[in-house]
Amino acid sequence: MNKKIKKILSKKNKSKIVCLTAYSKSIAKILDKHVDIILVGDSMANVLYGHKNTHKLTLDNIIQHTLSVKMGVKKTLLVVDMPKGSYSNTKFALKNAQKVMSTTGCDAIKLESNKKNFVIIKKLIKKKIPVMGHIGFTPQFKKKFKVEGQTKREITKLLKEAKLIEKAGAFSIVLECLSADSANLITKKLSIPTIGIGSSKYCDGQILVTDDMLGISGFYPKFVKKFANLNRVIENAVKKYTREVKLRKFPIAKNFF
C-alpha cells in the first residue's frame, strides 16, 4: 500500500486529518507544508471556470490542473476528483482513472457515490488505483442542496452506503453536508477515516475548498469559515498599483533595467 495512504489510515481515532483543495502549483506549494491531503476538486468548475455546477468539467481540465498542482507537492497525499460522466461504467472508469493516475502521478482518485457504483470502486482498487468515496450532498448527482441524514431512515441508508464503499475497498470517504448525528455514527462504525465538509466536528478529518476559506470565491455558506479575506487584500494591492502607475510612482529606477 502507498505509504502516504497508510499514514492517513493510521490517523483514525488518533489525530485529525487536514485536507484542502488546490488547482495550481502556487497554492499546492503552500498547502504541502501543512495539510495531510490535497484534493484537486471538481469544485474548480464553479470556482475557476464560473460554471453553475460541476457537470461540464472535463477529464482534460482535471488533468491539466493536477499537472500544475503536482509540481507544488512533495509530501502530501494527492487525490484527484473524477469529473461527472468519466466513471459512468466500469470499463470507462478504469480507462479514465488509469489515464489520470499515469499522466499526473497523483496518489488516488475520488468519486462521488450514486449508491450504485460500488462495483466500479472495487474494480479500480483491484487494479491498484486507491479510491476515496464521497457521500451525502454529491453535486454531480444531486440537483438540489439538502442536508442529508436528518431522519432515522436517512441515517440508516447513509450508513449502509458508507459501509458498502468501505467494503468495496475505499481508503477514506468524504461526508458532505450530513447531519452531525449521521456523521458521528458513520465515523464510529467505519474503520476507514471520514473527511467532513459541512458535516460537524465528529469526522476524522475536515476539508474545505481553499478559495472559500481564503475569502476569495464569494461562496460562503454556513459550513465555510473565512480564515482570511483575500478579496480585500488583493483589491487593496490592485488599487495601490493602479494609483502608483497613474501617479508615475511605479516603476521607479530600481524596477527597470
**Which residues are known catalytic residues?**
176
Which residue, 54 or 184, is less far from ligand KIV as judged by CB?
54
Q: How far is the CB of 40 from ligand KIV (least distance, A)?
A: 8
Separation of alpha carbons 100 and 40, rounded Å:
11
CA distance 210 to 195: 15
CA angle 171, 141, 38 (to 5 degrees): 40
Residue 23 or 153 having the CB closest to ligand KIV = 23
Rounded to the nearest whole angstrom, what is the least distance from the CB of residue 167 to ligand KIV in the complex? 22
Closest CB to ligand KIV among 36 and 156?
36
Which listed residue (174, 177, 185, 190) binds ligand KIV by CB under 6 A? 174
Helices 152-168, 180-189: inter-axial angle, 10-degree rounding:
30
**207 is a site residue for ligand KIV (CB under 6 A):** yes
Footprint on residues 102-161 left by ligand KIV (CB under 6 A): none
Upper half-sphere CA count for residue 248 (Cβ side, 13 Å): 0
Q: Which is nearer to ligand KIV, 42 or 161 (CB)?
A: 42
CB 12 to ligand KIV: min, Å: 18
Please state the closest distance from residue 217 (CB atom) to ligand KIV, in A: 11
One symbol per residue from 35 to 64: x for binding ligand KIV (CB under 6 A), - otherwise; what is it? ----x-xxx---------------------
83 or 91: CB nearest ligand KIV: 83
Q: Nearest 5°: phi and psi at 134? A: -160, 115
Does 204 sit near ligand KIV (CB under 6 A)? no
Closest CA to 76 of 8, 170, 176, 169: 8
Report the distance separating Cα 242 and Cα 235, nearest Å: 10
- Closest distance between ligand KIV and the C-beta of residue 237, in Å? 26
**# binding residues, ligand KIV (CB under 6 A):** 10
Q: Does 209 bind ligand KIV (CB under 6 A)?
A: yes
- Return d(Cα 92, Cα 89) in angstroms, integer: 5
DSSP single-letter state for residue 255:
G
Omega prior to 139 cis, within 30 of 0: no
CA nearest to 196, candidates 157, 229, 230, 147: 147
Q: Which residues bind ligand KIV (CB under 6 A)?
A: 21, 39, 41-43, 81, 174, 197, 207, 209
